[in-house]
Structure 1
Protein backbone atom coordinates (compact mmCIF):
# COMPACT_ATOMS: atom_id res chain seq x y z
CA UNK A 1 0.00 0.00 0.00
CA UNK A 2 1.27 3.45 -0.81
CA UNK A 3 2.45 5.38 2.26
CA UNK A 4 0.38 8.36 1.10
CA UNK A 5 -2.91 6.48 0.91
CA UNK A 6 -4.67 4.91 3.87
CA UNK A 7 -6.22 1.47 3.85
CA UNK A 8 -9.62 3.10 4.33
CA UNK A 9 -9.07 5.19 1.20
CA UNK A 10 -8.02 2.11 -0.80
CA UNK A 11 -11.19 0.30 0.27
CA UNK A 12 -13.28 3.36 -0.63
CA UNK A 13 -11.77 3.31 -4.11
CA UNK A 14 -12.44 -0.44 -4.41
CA UNK A 15 -16.06 0.09 -3.44
CA UNK A 16 -16.42 2.88 -6.00
CA UNK A 17 -14.93 0.69 -8.75
CA UNK A 18 -17.23 -2.21 -7.85
CA UNK A 19 -20.27 0.08 -7.98
CA UNK A 20 -19.21 1.49 -11.36
CA UNK A 21 -18.73 -2.00 -12.76
CA UNK A 22 -22.14 -3.12 -11.51
CA UNK A 23 -23.71 -0.12 -13.23
CA UNK A 24 -21.93 -0.98 -16.48
CA UNK A 25 -23.31 -4.52 -16.36
CA UNK A 26 -26.89 -3.60 -15.53
CA UNK A 27 -28.25 -3.76 -19.08
CA UNK A 28 -26.29 -6.68 -20.57
CA UNK A 29 -28.26 -9.34 -22.40
CA UNK A 30 -27.51 -13.03 -21.88
CA UNK A 31 -25.31 -13.34 -24.97
CA UNK A 32 -23.03 -10.57 -23.73
CA UNK A 33 -22.82 -12.18 -20.29
CA UNK A 34 -21.59 -15.34 -22.04
CA UNK A 35 -18.85 -13.54 -23.99
CA UNK A 36 -15.26 -14.51 -23.22
CA UNK A 37 -13.38 -12.06 -21.02
CA UNK A 38 -9.68 -11.18 -21.14
CA UNK A 39 -9.24 -13.47 -18.15
CA UNK A 40 -8.24 -16.77 -19.72
CA UNK A 41 -11.19 -19.02 -20.50
CA UNK A 42 -13.63 -17.30 -18.14
CA UNK A 43 -16.79 -15.65 -19.46
CA UNK A 44 -17.97 -12.23 -18.33
CA UNK A 45 -20.38 -13.85 -15.89
CA UNK A 46 -17.68 -16.09 -14.44
CA UNK A 47 -15.37 -13.13 -13.82
CA UNK A 48 -18.17 -11.34 -11.95
CA UNK A 49 -18.80 -14.46 -9.84
CA UNK A 50 -15.05 -14.61 -9.13
CA UNK A 51 -15.10 -11.00 -7.93
CA UNK A 52 -18.00 -11.85 -5.61
CA UNK A 53 -16.09 -14.84 -4.28
CA UNK A 54 -12.95 -12.83 -3.60
CA UNK A 55 -14.94 -10.20 -1.68
CA UNK A 56 -16.73 -12.89 0.36
CA UNK A 57 -13.76 -15.00 1.42
CA UNK A 58 -11.62 -14.19 4.43
CA UNK A 59 -8.24 -15.71 5.16
CA UNK A 60 -9.52 -18.77 7.06
CA UNK A 61 -12.18 -19.64 4.48
CA UNK A 62 -9.66 -19.21 1.70
CA UNK A 63 -7.20 -21.54 3.42
CA UNK A 64 -9.88 -24.17 4.05
CA UNK A 65 -10.91 -24.00 0.39
CA UNK A 66 -7.33 -24.31 -0.84
CA UNK A 67 -6.62 -27.23 1.49
CA UNK A 68 -9.85 -28.90 0.39
CA UNK A 69 -8.69 -28.57 -3.22
CA UNK A 70 -5.25 -29.98 -2.28
CA UNK A 71 -3.60 -26.77 -3.49
CA UNK A 72 -5.11 -27.20 -6.94
CA UNK A 73 -5.98 -23.56 -7.55
CA UNK A 74 -8.00 -24.33 -10.66
CA UNK A 75 -10.20 -26.57 -8.51
CA UNK A 76 -10.31 -23.95 -5.76
CA UNK A 77 -11.43 -21.27 -8.22
CA UNK A 78 -13.99 -23.62 -9.79
CA UNK A 79 -15.55 -24.28 -6.38
CA UNK A 80 -15.64 -20.58 -5.60
CA UNK A 81 -17.35 -19.84 -8.92
CA UNK A 82 -19.93 -22.56 -8.38
CA UNK A 83 -20.75 -21.12 -4.96
CA UNK A 84 -21.10 -17.49 -5.99
CA UNK A 85 -22.49 -17.71 -9.52
CA UNK A 86 -26.24 -17.29 -9.71
CA UNK A 87 -28.78 -19.40 -11.55
CA UNK A 88 -29.07 -16.54 -14.07
CA UNK A 89 -26.79 -13.62 -15.01
CA UNK A 90 -29.19 -11.28 -13.22
CA UNK A 91 -28.77 -13.25 -10.01
CA UNK A 92 -24.99 -13.27 -10.46
CA UNK A 93 -25.09 -9.48 -10.74
CA UNK A 94 -27.34 -9.21 -7.67
CA UNK A 95 -24.83 -11.24 -5.69
CA UNK A 96 -22.04 -8.96 -6.87
CA UNK A 97 -24.01 -5.86 -5.90
CA UNK A 98 -24.44 -7.32 -2.41
CA UNK A 99 -20.66 -7.29 -1.78
CA UNK A 100 -19.89 -3.82 -3.15
CA UNK A 101 -19.16 -2.38 0.31
CA UNK A 102 -17.41 -5.48 1.73
CA UNK A 103 -13.91 -5.22 3.15
CA UNK A 104 -13.43 -8.99 3.34
CA UNK A 105 -10.35 -10.39 1.60
CA UNK A 106 -8.03 -13.41 1.77
CA UNK A 107 -5.11 -11.20 2.86
CA UNK A 108 -4.40 -7.74 4.21
CA UNK A 109 -2.87 -6.44 0.97
CA UNK A 110 -5.63 -3.91 0.32
CA UNK A 111 -4.05 -2.49 -2.84
CA UNK A 112 -4.12 -6.00 -4.30
CA UNK A 113 -7.88 -6.26 -3.79
CA UNK A 114 -8.37 -2.83 -5.31
CA UNK A 115 -6.34 -4.29 -8.18
CA UNK A 116 -8.69 -7.26 -8.28
CA UNK A 117 -11.67 -5.15 -9.27
CA UNK A 118 -9.70 -2.77 -11.48
CA UNK A 119 -8.04 -5.52 -13.53
CA UNK A 120 -11.09 -7.76 -13.75
CA UNK A 121 -13.26 -4.75 -14.50
CA UNK A 122 -11.17 -4.13 -17.62
CA UNK A 123 -11.11 -7.87 -18.38
CA UNK A 124 -14.87 -7.44 -18.68
CA UNK A 125 -15.18 -4.00 -20.26
CA UNK A 126 -12.70 -4.34 -23.10
CA UNK A 127 -14.34 -7.36 -24.80
CA UNK A 128 -17.73 -5.70 -24.36
CA UNK A 129 -16.58 -2.40 -25.88
CA UNK A 130 -17.42 -0.47 -22.71
CA UNK A 131 -15.43 2.76 -22.57
CA UNK A 132 -15.42 3.51 -18.86
CA UNK A 133 -12.01 3.29 -17.17
CA UNK A 134 -11.07 3.29 -13.48
CA UNK A 135 -10.15 6.51 -11.75
CA UNK A 136 -6.50 7.42 -12.37
CA UNK A 137 -5.92 7.72 -8.61
CA UNK A 138 -7.10 4.14 -8.07
CA UNK A 139 -5.15 2.74 -11.01
CA UNK A 140 -2.03 4.56 -9.78
CA UNK A 141 -2.14 2.83 -6.40
CA UNK A 142 -2.49 -0.56 -8.08
CA UNK A 143 0.32 0.20 -10.53
CA UNK A 144 2.61 1.15 -7.64
CA UNK A 145 1.75 -2.06 -5.81
CA UNK A 146 2.34 -4.22 -8.90
CA UNK A 147 5.67 -2.51 -9.63
CA UNK A 148 6.98 -3.32 -6.15
CA UNK A 149 6.21 -7.03 -5.93
CA UNK A 150 4.96 -10.21 -7.53
CA UNK A 151 1.77 -10.99 -5.62
CA UNK A 152 -1.01 -12.67 -7.57
CA UNK A 153 0.65 -11.81 -10.88
CA UNK A 154 4.31 -11.65 -12.00
CA UNK A 155 4.09 -7.90 -12.33
CA UNK A 156 7.47 -6.88 -10.95
CA UNK A 157 9.30 -9.53 -12.98
CA UNK A 158 7.60 -8.44 -16.20
CA UNK A 159 8.97 -4.89 -15.94
CA UNK A 160 12.49 -5.67 -14.70
CA UNK A 161 15.09 -3.31 -16.22
CA UNK A 162 12.40 -1.21 -17.89
CA UNK A 163 11.24 2.35 -17.23
CA UNK A 164 7.46 2.80 -17.05
CA UNK A 165 5.87 6.26 -17.20
CA UNK A 166 2.16 7.11 -17.20
CA UNK A 167 0.97 9.76 -19.62
CA UNK A 168 -2.12 10.68 -17.58
CA UNK A 169 -0.91 10.59 -13.98
CA UNK A 170 2.07 10.48 -11.61
CA UNK A 171 2.99 6.80 -11.91
CA UNK A 172 6.60 6.19 -12.94
CA UNK A 173 9.00 3.43 -11.98
CA UNK A 174 12.20 1.67 -12.93
CA UNK A 175 15.20 2.34 -15.12
CA UNK A 176 15.93 1.18 -18.64
CA UNK A 177 14.17 1.42 -22.00
CA UNK A 178 10.95 3.43 -21.72
CA UNK A 179 7.40 2.09 -21.90
CA UNK A 180 4.71 4.76 -21.70
CA UNK A 181 0.93 4.94 -21.83
CA UNK A 182 -2.08 5.52 -19.64
CA UNK A 183 -1.97 4.33 -16.06
CA UNK A 184 -4.61 1.68 -16.69
CA UNK A 185 -2.80 0.36 -19.77
CA UNK A 186 0.45 0.02 -17.80
CA UNK A 187 -1.43 -1.61 -14.92
CA UNK A 188 -3.13 -4.13 -17.18
CA UNK A 189 0.13 -4.97 -18.91
CA UNK A 190 1.77 -5.60 -15.53
CA UNK A 191 -1.19 -7.86 -14.74
CA UNK A 192 -0.27 -9.95 -17.78
CA UNK A 193 -2.91 -8.70 -20.22
CA UNK A 194 -0.92 -8.59 -23.45
CA UNK A 195 -3.81 -6.96 -25.32
CA UNK A 196 -3.01 -3.72 -23.52
CA UNK A 197 0.44 -3.57 -25.11
CA UNK A 198 -1.41 -2.17 -28.12
CA UNK A 199 -2.09 0.93 -26.01
CA UNK A 200 1.57 1.45 -25.04
CA UNK A 201 4.58 2.95 -26.80
CA UNK A 202 8.33 3.23 -26.33
CA UNK A 203 11.57 1.39 -27.00
CA UNK A 204 10.99 -0.97 -24.08
CA UNK A 205 7.66 -2.20 -25.41
CA UNK A 206 9.00 -5.17 -27.44
CA UNK A 207 10.70 -6.51 -24.30
CA UNK A 208 7.57 -6.13 -22.21
CA UNK A 209 5.39 -7.67 -24.89
CA UNK A 210 7.67 -10.70 -25.22
CA UNK A 211 7.54 -11.31 -21.49
CA UNK A 212 3.75 -11.23 -21.46
CA UNK A 213 3.43 -13.59 -24.41
CA UNK A 214 5.56 -16.23 -22.66
CA UNK A 215 3.77 -15.80 -19.34
CA UNK A 216 0.21 -16.99 -18.62
CA UNK A 217 -2.34 -14.27 -17.95
CA UNK A 218 -2.86 -15.72 -14.53
CA UNK A 219 -1.15 -16.51 -11.29
CA UNK A 220 -4.01 -15.90 -9.06
CA UNK A 221 -3.83 -18.23 -6.13
CA UNK A 222 -7.46 -17.43 -5.52
CA UNK A 223 -6.97 -13.77 -6.39
CA UNK A 224 -6.76 -12.43 -9.89
CA UNK A 225 -7.89 -15.63 -11.49
CA UNK A 226 -6.91 -16.70 -14.93
Structure 2
Protein backbone atom coordinates (compact mmCIF):
# COMPACT_ATOMS: atom_id res chain seq x y z
CA UNK A 1 0.00 0.00 0.00
CA UNK A 2 1.35 3.36 -0.97
CA UNK A 3 1.66 5.99 1.72
CA UNK A 4 -0.08 9.33 1.59
CA UNK A 5 1.85 12.43 0.59
CA UNK A 6 1.84 13.53 4.23
CA UNK A 7 3.22 10.19 5.42
CA UNK A 8 5.93 10.22 2.76
CA UNK A 9 7.04 13.71 3.69
CA UNK A 10 7.05 12.87 7.40
CA UNK A 11 9.37 9.97 6.65
CA UNK A 12 11.62 12.05 4.39
CA UNK A 13 11.92 14.81 7.00
CA UNK A 14 12.69 12.33 9.77
CA UNK A 15 15.32 10.49 7.72
CA UNK A 16 17.04 13.75 6.77
CA UNK A 17 17.25 14.86 10.39
CA UNK A 18 18.54 11.47 11.54
CA UNK A 19 21.25 11.51 8.87
CA UNK A 20 22.33 14.99 9.94
CA UNK A 21 22.57 13.74 13.52
CA UNK A 22 24.56 10.66 12.48
CA UNK A 23 27.12 12.78 10.60
CA UNK A 24 27.59 15.48 13.21
CA UNK A 25 30.76 13.99 14.72
CA UNK A 26 32.73 12.62 11.76
CA UNK A 27 36.43 13.38 11.69
CA UNK A 28 38.12 15.19 8.81
CA UNK A 29 39.34 12.07 6.98
CA UNK A 30 35.98 10.31 7.14
CA UNK A 31 34.43 12.95 4.91
CA UNK A 32 36.67 11.75 2.08
CA UNK A 33 35.40 8.16 2.34
CA UNK A 34 34.18 6.88 -1.06
CA UNK A 35 30.42 6.45 -0.99
CA UNK A 36 28.49 3.66 -2.71
CA UNK A 37 27.95 6.11 -5.59
CA UNK A 38 30.85 5.70 -8.05
CA UNK A 39 32.94 8.86 -8.10
CA UNK A 40 31.33 10.50 -5.07
CA UNK A 41 32.68 10.66 -1.54
CA UNK A 42 30.30 10.88 1.41
CA UNK A 43 30.53 14.70 1.49
CA UNK A 44 29.50 14.84 -2.18
CA UNK A 45 26.42 12.71 -1.48
CA UNK A 46 25.50 14.86 1.49
CA UNK A 47 25.74 18.00 -0.66
CA UNK A 48 23.58 16.30 -3.29
CA UNK A 49 20.93 15.60 -0.64
CA UNK A 50 20.96 19.26 0.37
CA UNK A 51 20.57 20.27 -3.26
CA UNK A 52 17.66 17.91 -3.88
CA UNK A 53 15.94 19.01 -0.68
CA UNK A 54 16.04 22.60 -1.93
CA UNK A 55 15.06 21.84 -5.53
CA UNK A 56 11.45 22.38 -6.58
CA UNK A 57 9.72 21.86 -9.90
CA UNK A 58 10.63 25.20 -11.45
CA UNK A 59 14.21 25.25 -10.18
CA UNK A 60 14.69 21.66 -11.40
CA UNK A 61 13.65 22.62 -14.93
CA UNK A 62 15.76 25.77 -14.80
CA UNK A 63 18.86 23.90 -13.64
CA UNK A 64 18.37 21.12 -16.19
CA UNK A 65 18.17 23.66 -19.00
CA UNK A 66 21.29 25.38 -17.68
CA UNK A 67 23.03 21.99 -17.74
CA UNK A 68 21.93 21.48 -21.37
CA UNK A 69 19.58 18.64 -20.37
CA UNK A 70 22.47 16.62 -18.92
CA UNK A 71 21.35 15.14 -15.58
CA UNK A 72 24.91 14.30 -14.52
CA UNK A 73 26.05 17.86 -15.19
CA UNK A 74 23.07 19.22 -13.29
CA UNK A 75 24.00 17.00 -10.33
CA UNK A 76 27.60 18.21 -10.45
CA UNK A 77 26.44 21.82 -10.44
CA UNK A 78 24.15 21.12 -7.51
CA UNK A 79 26.93 19.55 -5.48
CA UNK A 80 29.27 22.46 -6.23
CA UNK A 81 26.55 24.86 -5.11
CA UNK A 82 25.78 23.15 -1.80
CA UNK A 83 29.11 21.59 -0.74
CA UNK A 84 30.69 23.76 1.96
CA UNK A 85 34.40 23.90 2.69
CA UNK A 86 33.55 22.79 6.22
CA UNK A 87 31.52 19.56 6.04
CA UNK A 88 29.76 20.41 9.27
CA UNK A 89 28.27 23.42 7.52
CA UNK A 90 26.90 21.06 4.87
CA UNK A 91 25.41 18.98 7.69
CA UNK A 92 23.82 22.15 9.09
CA UNK A 93 22.44 22.95 5.62
CA UNK A 94 20.76 19.53 5.49
CA UNK A 95 19.32 20.08 8.95
CA UNK A 96 18.02 23.51 7.93
CA UNK A 97 16.47 22.05 4.77
CA UNK A 98 15.12 18.88 6.36
CA UNK A 99 11.48 19.96 6.58
CA UNK A 100 11.17 21.34 3.06
CA UNK A 101 8.58 19.71 0.80
CA UNK A 102 10.06 20.63 -2.55
CA UNK A 103 10.31 18.05 -5.29
CA UNK A 104 11.13 17.80 -9.00
CA UNK A 105 8.24 16.92 -11.35
CA UNK A 106 8.36 13.22 -10.49
CA UNK A 107 6.50 10.59 -8.49
CA UNK A 108 6.70 11.41 -4.81
CA UNK A 109 8.16 7.96 -4.15
CA UNK A 110 11.40 9.31 -5.61
CA UNK A 111 11.84 11.31 -2.40
CA UNK A 112 11.89 8.05 -0.45
CA UNK A 113 14.38 6.53 -2.89
CA UNK A 114 16.51 9.65 -2.57
CA UNK A 115 16.82 9.73 1.21
CA UNK A 116 16.99 5.98 1.81
CA UNK A 117 19.41 4.96 -0.95
CA UNK A 118 21.65 7.99 -0.56
CA UNK A 119 21.48 7.61 3.20
CA UNK A 120 22.94 4.13 2.79
CA UNK A 121 25.43 5.42 0.20
CA UNK A 122 26.85 7.45 3.06
CA UNK A 123 26.26 5.25 6.08
CA UNK A 124 27.52 1.87 4.90
CA UNK A 125 31.05 2.92 3.95
CA UNK A 126 31.28 4.70 7.32
CA UNK A 127 30.03 1.70 9.28
CA UNK A 128 26.86 3.52 10.37
CA UNK A 129 23.50 1.76 10.64
CA UNK A 130 20.38 3.42 9.27
CA UNK A 131 16.84 2.89 10.51
CA UNK A 132 14.03 3.36 7.98
CA UNK A 133 10.31 2.52 8.17
CA UNK A 134 9.60 -0.84 6.55
CA UNK A 135 6.71 0.58 4.56
CA UNK A 136 8.89 3.35 3.13
CA UNK A 137 11.55 0.85 2.03
CA UNK A 138 8.91 -1.31 0.35
CA UNK A 139 7.39 1.67 -1.47
CA UNK A 140 10.81 2.83 -2.66
CA UNK A 141 11.63 -0.69 -3.85
CA UNK A 142 8.34 -1.04 -5.74
CA UNK A 143 8.98 2.28 -7.46
CA UNK A 144 12.49 1.27 -8.49
CA UNK A 145 11.24 -2.06 -9.85
CA UNK A 146 8.81 -0.42 -12.24
CA UNK A 147 11.12 2.41 -13.31
CA UNK A 148 13.70 2.01 -16.13
CA UNK A 149 17.39 2.34 -15.32
CA UNK A 150 17.55 5.30 -17.71
CA UNK A 151 15.20 7.16 -15.36
CA UNK A 152 17.09 6.25 -12.20
CA UNK A 153 15.22 3.01 -11.48
CA UNK A 154 16.21 -0.63 -11.72
CA UNK A 155 13.60 -2.44 -13.79
CA UNK A 156 16.06 -4.02 -16.23
CA UNK A 157 18.32 -5.26 -13.42
CA UNK A 158 15.63 -7.60 -12.15
CA UNK A 159 14.60 -9.21 -15.44
CA UNK A 160 14.03 -12.90 -14.72
CA UNK A 161 14.63 -12.40 -11.00
CA UNK A 162 12.24 -12.94 -8.10
CA UNK A 163 13.00 -10.85 -5.02
CA UNK A 164 11.97 -12.08 -1.57
CA UNK A 165 12.03 -10.06 1.64
CA UNK A 166 13.37 -12.57 4.14
CA UNK A 167 11.70 -10.84 7.08
CA UNK A 168 8.14 -10.69 5.72
CA UNK A 169 8.10 -13.20 2.86
CA UNK A 170 6.85 -10.48 0.49
CA UNK A 171 8.02 -11.14 -3.06
CA UNK A 172 8.31 -9.18 -6.30
CA UNK A 173 8.76 -10.51 -9.83
CA UNK A 174 9.15 -14.06 -11.10
CA UNK A 175 12.33 -16.06 -11.54
CA UNK A 176 13.14 -17.85 -14.79
CA UNK A 177 11.60 -21.33 -14.60
CA UNK A 178 11.72 -21.33 -10.83
CA UNK A 179 15.29 -20.06 -10.80
CA UNK A 180 16.59 -16.57 -10.24
CA UNK A 181 15.36 -16.08 -6.69
CA UNK A 182 17.11 -13.50 -4.50
CA UNK A 183 16.34 -13.39 -0.79
CA UNK A 184 17.47 -10.63 1.52
CA UNK A 185 16.36 -7.81 3.76
CA UNK A 186 14.24 -5.27 1.88
CA UNK A 187 16.83 -2.52 2.33
CA UNK A 188 19.50 -4.68 0.67
CA UNK A 189 17.15 -5.58 -2.17
CA UNK A 190 16.42 -1.87 -2.67
CA UNK A 191 20.11 -1.02 -2.85
CA UNK A 192 20.90 -3.82 -5.30
CA UNK A 193 17.97 -2.90 -7.54
CA UNK A 194 19.19 0.72 -7.42
CA UNK A 195 22.60 -0.33 -8.75
CA UNK A 196 24.56 -0.49 -5.51
CA UNK A 197 26.92 -3.30 -4.62
CA UNK A 198 25.70 -5.20 -1.56
CA UNK A 199 27.78 -7.52 0.62
CA UNK A 200 27.30 -10.97 -1.00
CA UNK A 201 26.50 -12.46 2.41
CA UNK A 202 23.41 -10.25 2.64
CA UNK A 203 21.76 -11.70 -0.48
CA UNK A 204 21.17 -15.40 -1.08
CA UNK A 205 19.53 -17.52 -3.76
CA UNK A 206 20.14 -18.67 -7.29
CA UNK A 207 19.70 -15.18 -8.73
CA UNK A 208 21.95 -13.31 -6.29
CA UNK A 209 25.02 -13.34 -8.54
CA UNK A 210 22.91 -12.21 -11.50
CA UNK A 211 21.56 -9.24 -9.56
CA UNK A 212 25.04 -8.36 -8.26
CA UNK A 213 26.43 -8.39 -11.81
CA UNK A 214 23.59 -6.15 -13.00
CA UNK A 215 24.38 -3.66 -10.25
CA UNK A 216 27.87 -3.07 -11.68
CA UNK A 217 31.34 -2.97 -10.12
CA UNK A 218 31.96 -1.85 -6.53
CA UNK A 219 32.35 1.89 -6.11
CA UNK A 220 36.07 1.62 -5.35
CA UNK A 221 36.67 -0.18 -8.65
CA UNK A 222 34.29 1.83 -10.81
CA UNK A 223 35.43 4.52 -13.23
CA UNK A 224 35.89 7.89 -11.57
CA UNK A 225 32.84 9.83 -12.69
CA UNK A 226 30.14 12.06 -11.35
CA UNK A 227 27.04 9.98 -11.76
CA UNK A 228 24.15 9.23 -9.50
CA UNK A 229 21.23 6.87 -9.75
CA UNK A 230 18.47 9.10 -8.39
Under a length normalisation based on structure 1, what TM-score does the superposition of the two structures give?
Answer: 0.89
Per-residue displacement from partner, 1:156-210 (whole Å, max 9, x unpaired)? Answer: 1111121101012364211112101001000000110023444100011122122
- 2:203 corresponds in structure 1 to 200
- 1:123 corresponds in structure 2 to 121
Q: Contact 1:136–1:169 (CA<8 Å) still a contact in 2?
A: no
Matched, 1:83 2:81: yes
Of 165, 181, 185, the match for 1:182: 185
Query: 5 Å matches for 1:36-185?
Result: 36-150=34-148, 152-169=151-168, 171-176=170-175, 177-185=180-188
Q: Contact 1:144–1:171 (CA<8 Å) still a contact in 2?
A: no
Per-residue displacement from partner, 1:76-118 (whole Å, max 9, x unpaired)? Answer: 1121111111231111111011111111011241111111010
Number of aligned residues: 220
Contiguous gaps of at least 5 residues in structure 2: none
The worse-fitting range, judged by mean Cα deviation, of 25-34 and 117-126 is: 25-34
CA distance in 2 between counterparts of 1:131 and 1:172 reads 24
- What SS does the corresponding residue of 1:101 show, helix, strand or coil? coil
Of 204, 210, 213, the match for 1:210: 213
CA distance in 2 between counterparts of 1:25 and 1:8 reads 26
C-alpha displacement of 1:67? 1.2
CA distance in 1 between counterparts of 2:78 and 2:142 reads 28
**CA 1:122–1:93 in structure 2 vs 1: closer, same or farther (change >3 Å)?**
same
Q: Which structure carries more relative contact order (alpha carbon 8 Å, separation 6+)?
A: 2
- What SS does the corresponding residue of 1:76 show, helix, strand or coil? helix
**CA 1:161–1:118 in structure 2 vs 1: closer, same or farther (change >3 Å)?**
same
- What SS does the corresponding residue of 2:159 show, helix, strand or coil? coil
Q: Contact 1:163–1:174 (CA<8 Å) still a contact in 2?
A: yes
- What SS does the corresponding residue of 1:48 show, helix, strand or coil? helix
Per-residue displacement from partner, 1:1-29 (whole Å, max 9, x unpaired)? Answer: x4x42111111111111111111111111
CA distance in 1 between counterparts of 2:117 and 2:156 reads 18
C-alpha displacement of 1:74? 2.8
- Structure 1 runs, 4 residues or longer, greater than 6 Å off: 214-217
